[in-house]
Amino acid sequence: MTIVRLGYVAMSMELQNASPSKTMTFAQFQKIGNREAAIRKLERIALSNIQNTHRLLKHNAASDIHFYRLSSRLIPLANHEELADWDYIAPIQKKLRELGSFAAKHKMRIDFHPDHFVLINSKKKEVLKTTIETLSLHYQLLKEMSVDTTHRCVIHVGGNYKETEKSLERFVTNWMVVPKHLQTMIMLENDDTSFTVEDTLYLCEKLGIPLVFDYHHHLANHKQLHWEKEWDRIIQTWQYSPLPVKMHISSPKSEKEFRHHADLVDIDMFLTFLKEIKGSVPQIDCMIEAKRKDEALFQLMNNIKTSEDIDIVDGSTFYLK
């Protein structure tokens, strides 16, 4: 049997006024005029984001959801070069500890997925420098929450630059510059245009990084279902991880807009995947990347309840018999 747990990304469709991603641009920061007043406003926004994240975790606990992706925009302008002297952790440290404590109490798997500008294989030294700074921010947030940082941050391989092989080797070269404590935090995901499962596996196997298989991305990149032959290799990349295998699940918006995420998850598409991997792993955590967030999770669970060979455990978990 295989246990399947569903999770969702950052926002809830059910909770009102609970955004964990409120922000401020540097232009808005400058318009305030008084630097100290502007910094205090930044800190209030960060506190609001953390408090709303806590509300979301409470919502998850009440709904039996054990898997959740934190917003990477919890602290606006945290790494901005003009705010290098700002101690952004101090005003939110207590709330971060409370957040981590709540997640631990309810045994929730929480992690991050930084934005696309995190590029380890960049040709530009300044982009690599910013990438390491961004990863360091995520690492510090996890540490303040007392979360084991191992395999808690999903990223893409990066830019292809119309030279796949050289771009992969540049990732390997730049990886040596990434501090070890950040390396152990990272998982790699196959994408929908540049780097296939095979490309990503090359890096994961060479560097000892778990691969987060994105089923929708694979279909968009290949437009075929022949991923099964790589599944055992994908599983093996998780052999030294303290966490269960993780994947991403979403559905195409339409045939014309195949790469765009739909509002909900196509139950038939998901079950097709599950039938292939049943019994191959004791547990798999599936992060839903649908536009309707937790609503998509609840709808998928309602649809799954009618499927054969499935035993429901709770609001987001089931067994494949």
State how far the Cα of 269 lies from the Cα of 281, in Å rounded to an integer: 19
Is the pLDDT at 226 greater than 90? The verdict is: no
What total of structural domains would you count in the chain? Answer: 1
Q: How confident is the model at residue 311 (pLDDT cuts 50, 70, 90)?
A: very high
Residue 225: what pLDDT?
Answer: 58
Is the pLDDT at 239 greater than 90? The verdict is: yes
State how far the Cα of 34 lies from the Cα of 16, in Å rounded to an integer: 32
Residue 223: what pLDDT?
Answer: 55
The β-bridge relationship of strands 109-111 and 67-69 is parallel
Looking at 222-226, 256-260, 283-287, which range is the least confident one? 222-226
Interval 143-198: pLDDT, tens: 999 999 999 999 999 999 989 999 999 999 999 999 999 999 999 999 999 999 99
Question: How high is the mean pLDDT of the chain?
Answer: 95
Q: What is the CATH number of the domain that holds 267?
A: 3.20.20.150
pTM for the full model? 0.96
The residues, ordered by sequence, that sit 6+ positions from 156 with a Cβ below 8 Å of its Cβ are 116, 118, 188, 189, 191, 195
Read off the DSSP letter of residue 84.
Answer: T
Tokens (6 digits) for 32: 């305030």
Residue 201: what pLDDT?
Answer: 96
Could you identify the residue written with the tokens 């292939």? 276
Strand partners, 214: 248
Domain limits for position 219: 2-320
State how far the Cα of 89 lies from the Cα of 111, in Å rounded to an integer: 18
State how far the Cα of 267 lies from the Cα of 308, in Å rounded to an integer: 13
Average pLDDT (91-97) is: 97
Is the pLDDT at 66 greater than 70? The verdict is: yes
Average pLDDT (210-221) is: 93
Is the pLDDT at 224 greater than 60? The verdict is: no
